[in-house]
Amino acid sequence: MPLVTGRVVEKYTKQPVQAARVDIGLYTTYTDANGNFSLDVPTGRQAFRIEHQSFYTITHTLPVRARTSMGLIKMESRVRAL
């Protein structure tokens, strides 16, 4: 199965998002302290979802053919400054 990797950060500050849940198809992992994740998934079109209680959820469809880097993924915070 190909490896899918990426790094999840806050959209504006670019700070890493730790403990975001990453679902690709039927497989799940969580981001580390630096916002990084890696997950082995089957080839083909896979549903992709990243969620964290402090951020808006991201969903996409991801074509997986070989090792895939999703690069930097920017999540927008649900919390607004006063």
Task: Identify whether the C-beta of residue 69 lies closer than 8 Å to the C-beta of residue 7.
Answer: no
The DSSP annotation for 15-77 comes to -B-TT-EEEETTEEEE--TTSEEEEE--SEEEEEEEEETTEEEEEEEEEESSSEEEEEEEEPB
Strand partners, 63: 45
pTM of the model: 0.92
pLDDT digits (tens, 9 = 90+) for 47-74: 999 999 999 999 999 999 999 999 999 9
Q: How confident is the model at residue 79 (pLDDT cuts 50, 70, 90)?
A: confident
Please provide the average confidence, as pLDDT, over all residues in the chain: 95
Does the domain made of 3-74 have the CATH classification 2.60.40.1120?
yes
